[in-house]
Chains A and B, each alone.
Chain A
Amino acid sequence: MTRPRDCAVSGVSEGLAEHLGWSVAGVRWAFALSNLAGGAGILLYLWLWALTPLRTPEGRDSASAEAPVQRRVPVPTLLVDLAAALAVLSFVAILLTGSTSILALTVPLVIALALGSIAWSRYVDVPLDPEAIRTAFLQRVGVGCGLVVLAFLVALISLQPGAGWLWLLVVVTAASAAAVAIGPEALTLRRQTAARRTEQVRDEQRAEMAAHLHDSVLQTLALIQNRAGASSEVARIARAQERELRDWLYAGAQAVERDLAADLRDFAAALELDYPVRIEVVVVGETSELGTGEVAAAARESMLNAARHAGGDVSVYLESAARSVDVFVRDRGAGFALDDVPEDRLGVRESIMGRMRRAGGAARVRPGAGGIGTEVHLHLERSEDE
C-alpha cells in the first residue's frame, strides 16, 4: 500500500481505498464512523499516515523526497476557518445560555487548531513560491491577531464574578498568541545559530590544521625540493605534493570553475610529474576563456613541447584583457628553428600555429631572449559578440 502524491490531505484514504478495492468516500466514512469507538478512526488514520510510504514517482527508480506532494485541500486555511467558526460559535453559545463552562472545551480546541495551522505550513507543507510564502505569512498574522482578540474577550468574561478558573485560559491564549508571533522566528534563529556555530568550529579546525601542516609538511616539502635539485624526480614529486596540499588547504572545498588559468595550472602539474621540468604559471587578469578552447589546446601543446624537448625551468604567462588573450610559454632548452622541423612533424606547425590561425588568432615561435631556449606566443582577439 502506498499513498499517492496527488492527494486531498495525506493520501491515506485514497491509498487505502485503492489497496482494498473500496471507494474513496467509503473509506472516509469508515474512518469518520469508527471514531465513535473511542476515537479509533483518528488513531488508525494517523498510524497509517505515519507508516505508509509515498508512492514512487513514475519514471524514477527511487522514492525521492524532491517530488512535491500536491494537496487539493488547503489544510492551514481549513484549520484557521474551523478555529474561527468554533470561537464564534462558543461566544454565541455563551450569549444564548449565559453559561461560560463551554469555554473550557472550545478555547483549548481553538488554540490547538490555530497552532496546528501554523505548524502545518512550517513542517508538513512548507510554502516554496513567493505567493505561497506571503499567504502563509498573512495567515500567521491573522491567527496571531485572532488569538489576541480571543484572549481579550475571555479576559473580559473572566472579570465577571464567579468566573473562577477562566483566567487560566486567558494566560494560555495569550501565550499561544505570543508563540504564533515570535515562535517561528525564534526557531529559525536558533537553527541558524547552531548552523553558524558548526560552521565556525569547522573553519577553526581547518585553519588550525592548515597552520600545522603549513609549519611542518610544507616546510619539509620545500626543503626536499631545495636539497634534491630542481629537476630531480624527488623534487618533482615533492612539488606535486606541495601543490596538492596547498590547493586543499587554501582553496577550500568549493568547486573551481574550469577556466583557462585553472586548466593550464592543472596541465603544468601533470607535466611536472611526467617530465624533468619545473613549470611556473603566472596569471594576470580575469580569465573568462574556457579551458576547452583552441587557445587552451595550443597552449597545452606548447607546454608539452617545452617539457619534452627543453625541460628545466619553463615559464607560462597568461594575460587576459577585455579584448584579447595572450599566452607566453618560454623554455630554456636548446631551442630550434622552425625551418629545420620536417614538414611531416605536425606538433608545432599544426597543433599550435594552424590551430591558432583557424581560431582567428596568431601564434609566433621564436628564440627566447638572448638566444636561449624558445618562446611561444599565442594571441587571440575576442570576437565582438562575446
Chain B
Amino acid sequence: MSDQHDSEISVVIVDDHSIFRSGLRADLDPDLRVLAEAADVDSAVEAIVAETPTVVLLDVHLPGGAGGGGAEVLRRTAGRCPSTRFLALSVSDSAEDVVGVIRGGARGYITKGSSGAEVSAAVRAVAGGDAVFSPRLAGFVLDAFGAAAGEQAEAVDELDRLSAREREVMRLIARGYAYKEVATELFISVKTVETHVSSVLRKLQLSSRHELTAWALERRLL
C-alpha cells in the first residue's frame, strides 16, 4: 500500500468490536482511506507496522498481547513507524485508561459517542500534527497541573507547569470553545492555538509530576 498520495490521509481502525469498526468505517468522511482493521493487540501491531497509516484510531481497551490494551500497541509500535500518529478512542472515562494512552504517545483522545464527522475532523487534526483535546481532557490538564488551585509557582521544571497563555487556552477549550473560537477570543491565530495545545500535550506526556497519574487515579475524572 505504498501507492498512497501524499495528501491522502490513511487510517487503520483498531477496535475489538466488529460492529463498531464497520460503523466507524461507514461514517468516516470518504476522503479518509481505511487501510486495515484490527481487533486485538497482536494483529494491530502487525497491521500498523505493515501499512504505516497516517493515523491509527486506537481503542483503549483491547484484548490480546500481554493484556496492556491500547497502551501496549503504542509501546510495541514505538519507533517502528515514526510517521504514524495515534488517536485514542474510548467509551471509558476512567483516568487510568486515558492517561495511559496519552502518556504512551497518543496525540489525542475522543469518546466513542462522537459522530463520524467529529471523528473525521479529529483524524485530520491529528494527521496535521495537532493535538486533539476534548473539554474533559483540557479540564483534566488544568486540574492535574494545579492551575486552579494556584500551586503553579511551586513547580520549578518547565515541564511541570503551564504558561499563562497555555492555561488560558486550556480553560477556553474546557469551556467548549473550538480552536478557531479560542483564537478569536484571545486575538491570536489558529496556528498559535495549535502550537500551545501541542506544547501542553508534550508536557502532559513528558511531565514527571508523579501527582499526575496519582491524581487521575484517585479522581476517576477523565
Residues of A at the B interface (CB closer than 8 Å) are 214-215, 218-219, 221-223, 225-227, 229-230, 239, 242, 246, 250-251, 280, 282-286, 313-315, 317, 319-322, 328, 330, 368-370, 372, 375
Would you call B76 an interface residue if the criterion is a C-beta within 8 Å of the partner chain's C-beta atoms? no
- B135-189 contacts to A, CB under 8 A, are 135-136, 138-139, 142-143, 147-150, 171-172, 174-177, 180-182, 184-185
Contact B175 A226 (CB under 8 A): no
Would you call B111 an interface residue if the criterion is a C-beta within 8 Å of the partner chain's C-beta atoms? yes
- Give Cα A138–Cα B46 distance, bound, in whole angstroms: 69
Contact A284 B114 (CB under 8 A): no
- Give Cα A280–Cα B114 distance, bound, in whole angstroms: 12
Q: Known: A215-B61, A226-B115, A282-B136. Contact between A317 and B20, CB under 8 A?
A: no
Contact A315 B175 (CB under 8 A): yes
- Give Cα A330–Cα B185 distance, bound, in whole angstroms: 14
- Give Cα A285–Cα B152 distance, bound, in whole angstroms: 13
Contact B135 A321 (CB under 8 A): no
Contact A214 B139 (CB under 8 A): no
- Give Cα A370–Cα B113 distance, bound, in whole angstroms: 26
- B88-108 contacts to A, CB under 8 A, are 91-94
Q: With a CB–CB cut-off of 8 A, which chain B residues contact A227?
A: 23
Q: Known: A219-B91, A219-B112, A285-B143. Contact between A322 and B149, CB under 8 A?
A: yes
- Give Cα A222–Cα B142 distance, bound, in whole angstroms: 27
Q: Known: A222-B113, A317-B139, A319-B171. Contact between A283 and B221, CB under 8 A?
A: yes
Contact A320 B148 (CB under 8 A): yes
Contact B91 A214 (CB under 8 A): yes
Contact A369 B91 (CB under 8 A): no
Would you call B19 an interface residue if the criterion is a C-beta within 8 Å of the partner chain's C-beta atoms? yes
Contact A370 B181 (CB under 8 A): yes
Q: Known: A239-B113, A282-B174, A313-B176. Contact between A226 and B138, CB under 8 A?
A: no
- Give Cα A200–Cα B113 distance, bound, in whole angstroms: 33
| 18 sampled A-B residue pairs with Cβ under 8 A | A214-B61, A215-B16, A215-B61, A222-B91, A226-B27, A226-B112, A230-B115, A250-B93, A280-B176, A282-B139, A282-B175, A283-B139, A317-B174, A319-B148, A322-B150, A330-B175, A369-B184, A372-B181
Would you call B191 an interface residue if the criterion is a C-beta within 8 Å of the partner chain's C-beta atoms? no
The residue that A229 contacts in the complex, of B115, B136, B182, B184, with Cβ under 8 A, is B115
Helix, strand, loop or mixed for chain A's interface? mixed
Contact A284 B148 (CB under 8 A): yes
Q: In chain A, what residue has the closest Cβ to B92?
A: A214
For chain B, the bracket of interface size reads: 35 or more
Q: In chain B, what residue has the closest Cβ to A238?
A: B113
The 8 A CB mask of B108-128 against A (1 = contact, 0 = none) is 000111111000000000000
16 other A-B residue contacts (CB within 8 Å) besides A282-B175, A284-B142, A284-B174: A214-B61, A219-B112, A222-B111, A222-B112, A223-B17, A223-B112, A226-B115, A226-B116, A242-B113, A282-B139, A282-B174, A317-B176, A319-B148, A328-B175, A330-B177, A369-B172
Would you call B220 an interface residue if the criterion is a C-beta within 8 Å of the partner chain's C-beta atoms? yes
The residue that B17 contacts in the complex, of A219, A313, A328, A330, with Cβ under 8 A, is A219
Residues of B at the A interface (CB closer than 8 Å) are 16-17, 19-20, 23-24, 27, 61, 91-94, 111-116, 135-136, 138-139, 142-143, 147-150, 171-172, 174-177, 180-182, 184-185, 220-221
Q: With a CB–CB cut-off of 8 A, which chain B residues contact A284?
A: 139, 142-143, 147-148, 174
CB distance from B125 to the nearest CB of A (A): 18
List the 10 shortest-distance A-B pairs measured between CB atoms, nearest first: A315-B176, A285-B148, A369-B181, A282-B139, A222-B112, A225-B113, A317-B175, A218-B91, A222-B91, A284-B142
- Give Cα A219–Cα B149 distance, bound, in whole angstroms: 35
Select the residue from B19, B113, B135, B138 with max chain A CB neighbours within 10 A. Answer: B113
CB distance from A6 to the nearest CB of B (A): 48
Q: In chain B, what residue has the closest Cβ to A286?
A: B149
Q: With a CB–CB cut-off of 8 A, which chain A residues contact B149?
A: 285-286, 321-322
Select the residue from B91, B142, B150, B180 with max chain A CB neighbours within 10 A. Answer: B91
